Structure 1
Amino acid sequence: MLVSDRHGRLVRLNDAARLVLPDAVNGARLSAQVPAWLADAHQRAVFASPPGTAAEAPHGAIGDRYFEAHPTVSEGDVVWWLVDATDRRQAERALSDARRRSEVLSQASSTLLSTLNVPRCMEVAASLAAEHLADAAVLIAPPQGRRCSLTHARRGGPAVRTSRQVDIAGVPGLTEALQGYPPVPARWINPDDIPDWAIPDGFTGPVGSVIVAPLPGHGVPAGALILLRSSTEQAFTEGEEGFARLFAARAGAALSAARLYTEQATITATLMQDLLPPTLRTVHGVEYAGSYRPAKDHERIGGDFYDVHPGAGPAEETLVVLGDVAGKGLDAAVLTGKIRNTLHALLPLAEDHQQILNLLNSALLTSRHTRFATLALASVHRRDDRVRLRLTSAGHMPPLIVRTDGTVEEAGTRGTLVGALPTVTARTVETALAPGETCLLYTDGITEARGGPLGDEFFGEDRLRRALADCVGMPAEAVVERVQMLAAQWLGTGRHDDMAVMAVTAPTPAR
């Protein structure tokens, strides 16, 4: 407690006040004995009307302690009661810091996990670190050979990615951090040892304090994070080092997830190359076109497939295959890939459809897959202006042939399933296409497309025939597009099976 008279002179201090203000002298002016914040508060208390009605008690530091001042005005004298609020203020500050750090970690987790792009994730991590943890940050990805991928960021600036050859041993603790070892305490790192490549462009002032934190990943380290604070800022505290490790753990998990997704996406894309329907074109003077729509629009592969294998040699006979594996989705696509690879290996036997089917049947019966398939084979050879066909159906719908007069014929081929019985029985027929005529191979996803006015009627073979009758003289690509369009319109938004269509067309002289 200390007392000042109406003239602003200090008239009394108790023992506790003398411990706080050991140099205070009775009779001297109060403004010369106390900090400025208390002197200003005294002026306001003396001239306030009514006195002492401030909504918040004056407060400030005296030495290394923090006080709140509560005045009592009596007959012109002011009694100041100083309450030590240092511990409470430190507790409030610690709670505020904990809340802020929790918010930062929550924001970091949400922002980092919102992208599965590795470079973007590195930029976001470096920017968040520079914004909330330090003046600048450098994120180092695991080295690839002698080169490292670096992402620099400074507070208020953009993140910049570079790839360069650096000496990671030049930064104390960085080699260990990239190997996943615990971080070196910041007080052990001499800021003068930080090389220029670890300091972002535009960083103001010399480096004053450094944190090197590992980025833990899923099983393997995801990199390391260097945090820099200039010499004009306060050095990193132990609490800030702990917070940096928590942030680094979130960033490492996000980077590891992004890298894992990228690797899996790359593997999936590589494996799918042999499962996706091929792009068809004109081969040996014959037009080929195909279209595939999986049962689920978000999938790219399924149980229907088609292939065109151009023949070599003088005969130039092309083998055409369209098939339907029982089931749909990824499981069916796996067996589809096996069938396509097996047929590709059997191309030297393409002249004998029966032998090809029997060998494929044997391969499927010895496979771990329990599914079966239906196939339609066509050997295509152009002679003069006509296209010769040998057609074989193995449990599949016979191909349809569109003639120049608008009639639609069904090829007279029949056969049993592949992969279900010890042997395959099939009948091969021969026919020819005049210029402008088309042979259409299709799967049951077309004819069994359920839709119509009530949504419960099959598209059916009759509608398919009527649609083909309007396709006389059309190029193969136009025929395929028309069939798929009509089937899709019939379906509406209803569910459907895999749908594959393939056309073999003898081009007209104009084409």
Structure 2
Amino acid sequence: MDPELALELLDGLAEAVLITDSVGQVVLVNATAAALLPELHPGVGLPGSPVAMLAEAYATGADHVDGEHRDRRLRGVRRPLAGDRSAWYVRDVTDDHRHAEALRTERGRTDFLAQAGRRLGLALQRDQALRAAATLPVPYLADLALVVYLPTGTVEYQPQWIRHVGHEPTLGATDWDAVSALPGLVEALDGEAGVPRPWPAGERDGAGPLLPDDLGPAATLLVSPMPGAGRTAGALVLVRAGAREGFDRRDVEVAREFAARAGAAMATAQLYDEQAHLARVLQNSLLPPDLPAVDGVRLAGGYRAAGDSLRIGGDFYDVLPTDGGALFALGDVSGKGVGAAVLTGRVRQSLQTLRLVEHRPRELLGLLDRALLDIPDAARRGQFTTLLLGTLRPEPDGGLRVRVAGGGHPAPLLVDGAGTVTPVQVGGMPVGAVPGARFDETEVRLRPGELLLARTDGVTEARGGPSGTEMFGERRLHRALAEAAGSAPTTLVDRVLHLVDEWCGGHRHDDVAMLAAGPAAGG
């Protein structure tokens, strides 16, 4: 082929082409090579040339070239030709490299926000959310992250802060003078977003309590508000040291997005803390009470709630001392969880009030029934309760007379000293279910060594065993009581609870409540 025609064809290529002889001397360059690598022209040798990456490739015998030259990213290959000559094909991949780098950077930002969102979503307490907000931006977004916020639920209106610089976060409180000395911080706490700005050491006077002592002389500062629920949850301060580039537009967007997510997490955690506090207050008010000391009577109670988080439910028991004895109640409100617990509280409060005007169990059940039916159905949602309500009267000979009324509840069980278990049939209809309900009443006398156990159906209906679905049942309950005959009420109740727990094997079960009573003499 005519050399001039060959060169004309090579000049039409978009990549640089160089031909070198057996000693690395350039013998031909096309137009693209002349523009991209002006240092190389026919007669110049690659060894020792200013195009370092080609010189190194020739010296090492490498077939691939990848490096920087004149602020351009170049990539190429070498192909052998006849006569120990070589053809070098070099492309300018600067734009491709920048696009790939931008894509990697954007993916990194997306991954950061996704991982930060997951971490923040797991922060169910405000301290956890604050810690996550301060630690996650370092080192990806900044060399230092500082969260300044105002505590809730306190009288003092003193700013608090948490700071992270790559090691364990530090916490503290400061005054408004230090907050005002940090540019843009007061505005961010009011919900206003600032812009990145240089922050030389000479401008940091007064903000010292918020900063570590070893912060470099030159830095870039970015302050972002952290929106909460109806108010600003705090302010996020990001600082990049002088050796690191400042915040570009996309960095600012990511920082703002992170600050918004962190603020939402803090607000959610605050709400969770408040709900948990309310739940604890509700729980403490509705948990079965400590049993009172009643002369001539031994008492023991046992309780398990079905819920996984709150130890409250729809099963309950209560013992209220009276002149010459005590009034006891054990019931099972329909439903589970907080809804059942609220009605449980109403039943217990109603009993405490109604007992001031009526002591007879059956009549007291009637009054309670009317009180529950008077509650609007929207508040009660059609709920009712089964109930055993009775009186305990110690006798001079050491026995205990029990008068018990039933409202649709499982019969209490009499356990004598020989291990015989006998249901005490009471009957009656559920309380608060339908108008005009009938309630029954019976009386039993306990001799020394005998116990009466009232329990909810959560005991016998607890599912577990080898199959995981079999009910504990009446037969196992009677056998457990017979084996514990003659024991103190506490021992008997603890034994039954232990067997039920073993039977369920850690699986969920219905609410369980038990109340055992017996004469103080004997046993």
Provide the rounded CA distance (Å) in 2 between the counterparts of 1:27 and 1:39.
17
Q: 2:301 aligns with which of 278, 290, 296?
A: 290
Report Cα offsets for 1:204-251 as digits up to 9, x if no partner: 422511010122234433321111122333222223222211222332
Residue 208 (structure 2) pairs with residue 196 (structure 1): yes
* Paired residue type of 2:409: H
Does the 8 Å CA contact 1:276/1:300 hold for their aligned counterparts?
Answer: yes
1:151 aligns with 2:162: yes
Query: What is the distance in 1 between the residues matched to 2:136 and 2:283?
Result: 37
- CA separation in 2, counterparts of 1:458 and 1:409? 18
Aligned to 1:55: 64
Q: Does 1:476 align with 2:480?
A: no
The residue number in structure 1 matching 2:13 is none
Q: Gapped runs of 5+ residues in structure 2? A: 1-15
**Is the partner of 2:139 in helix, strand or coil?**
helix
What residue in structure 2 maps to residue 459 of structure 1? Answer: 473
Q: Matched residues in 2 for 1:411 and 1:206: separation?
A: 86
Distance in 2, matches of 1:449 and 1:106, equals 43
Partner residue in 1 for 2:252: 241
Mapping 1:152-171, distance limit 5 Å: 152-155=163-166, 157-166=167-176, 167-171=178-182
Q: Counterpart in 2 of 1:136? A: 144
Say whether 1:98 aligns with 2:111.
no
1:341-490 equivalence runs, <5 A: 341-349=349-357, 351-367=359-375, 368=377, 369=380, 370-382=382-394, 385-408=398-421, 410-411=423-424, 413-423=426-436, 425-447=438-460, 459-460=473-474, 464-465=477-478, 467-486=480-499
Q: Give the conservation status (yes or no) of the 8 Å contact 2:49–2:55.
A: no
Say whether the 8 Å CA contact 2:146–2:236 is kept in structure 1. Answer: yes
SS of the residue corresponding to residue 251 of structure 1 reads helix
Farther off after superposition, 15-24 or 402-411: 15-24
Q: C-alpha separation between the residues in 1 aligned to 2:138 and 2:238?
A: 7
Query: Contact 2:151/2:158 (CA < 8 Å) preserved in 1?
Result: yes
Q: Contact 1:281/1:289 (CA < 8 Å) preserved in 2? A: no
Residue 444 of structure 1 aligns to a residue whose secondary structure is coil
Listed one character per residue, the Cα deviations across residues 346-371 of structure 1 (whole Å, up to 9, x for unaligned) are 23235233443232112111212223
Distance in 1 separating the partners of 2:514 and 2:359: 24
Number of corresponding residues:
494
Task: Tell me the amino acid that sits aligned with residue 303 of structure 1.
Answer: G
How far 1:282 sits from its partner (Å)?
4.0
The one-letter code sitting in structure 1 at the alignment partner of 2:353 is A
Normalization by structure 1: what TM-score? 0.79
Kindly indicate whether the alpha-carbon contact (under 8 Å) linking 1:207 and 1:228 is maintained by their aligned counterparts in 2. Answer: no
- Which residue number corresponds to residue 110 of structure 1? 118
Matched, 1:250 2:258: no
8 Å CA contact 2:147, 2:236 repeated in 1 = yes
SS at match of 1:253: helix
User: Per the alignment, do residues 296 and 105 of structure 1 end up closer, same or farther by CA in structure 2, a change over 3 Å counting?
Assistant: closer
Return the letter of the residue paired with 1:277. P
Query: Residues 138 and 449 from structure 1, CA distance in 2 versus in 1: closer, same or farther, beyond 3 angstroms?
Result: closer
Match of 1:185 in 2: 195
* Residues 88 and 316 of structure 1: CA distance in aligned 2, closer, same or farther (over 3 Å): same
The one-letter amino acid paired with 2:168 is P
Secondary structure of 1:227 counterpart: strand
Deviations 1:451-505 (A, max 9, x none): 8899767823x66555434433311111112334455667779986543221012
Distance 2:487 2:328 in 1: 20
Change (3 A) 1:401 1:78: closer
Contact 2:452 2:517 in 1 (8 A): yes
* Distance 1:219-1:123 versus aligned 2 partners, 3 A rule: same
Distance 1:150 1:458 in 2: 55
Cα–Cα, structure 1 residues 100 and 191, in superposed 2: closer, same or farther, change >3 Å? Answer: farther
Shift of 1:27: 12
**TM-aligned CA distance change 1:169 to 1:427, over 3 Å:** same
* Post-superposition offset of 1:123: 1.9
- 1:162 shift after superposition: 2.6
Q: Summarize the Cα distance change of 1:209–1:192 in structure 2 as closer, same or farther, 3 Å threshold.
A: farther
Under a length normalisation based on structure 2, what TM-score does the superposition of the two structures give? 0.77
Q: Report sequence identity in percent.
A: 36
Matches within 5 A, 1:294-309: 294-295=305-306, 300-309=311-320
Which whole-Å CA distance do the structure 1 matches of 2:20 and 2:500 have between them? 97
Instruction: Check 1:350–1:470 CA distance in 2 against 1; reply closer, same or farther (3 A cut).
Output: farther
Q: Give distance in 2, aligned partners of 1:447 and 1:99.
A: 57
Between 300-309 and 387-396, the greater mean CA deviation after superposition: 387-396
Deviations along 1:61-116, one digit per CA (max 9) or x if unpaired, are 53x66566889999999999986554443323222211221222222222332332
Q: How far off is 1:199 after superposition?
A: 1.2
Secondary structure in 2 matching 1:129: coil
Unaligned 5+ residue runs, structure 1?
Answer: none
Letter in 2 for 1:126: A
Alignment partners' CA distance in 2, 1:397 and 1:345: 25
Query: Counterpart of 2:321?
Result: 310
Corresponding position of 2:8 = none
The answer to whether the 8 A contact 2:407-2:429 is kept is yes
**Cα gap change, 1:207 to 1:476, in 2 (>3 Å):** farther
- 2:340 match: 332
| Mean Cα deviation higher: 290-299 or 90-99 | 290-299
| Match of residue 267 from structure 1 | 278
Partner of 2:3: none
Shift in CA distance, 151/339, structure 1 to aligned 2, threshold 3 Å:
same
CA distance in 1 between counterparts of 2:160 and 2:352 reads: 43
1:320 maps to which residue?
328
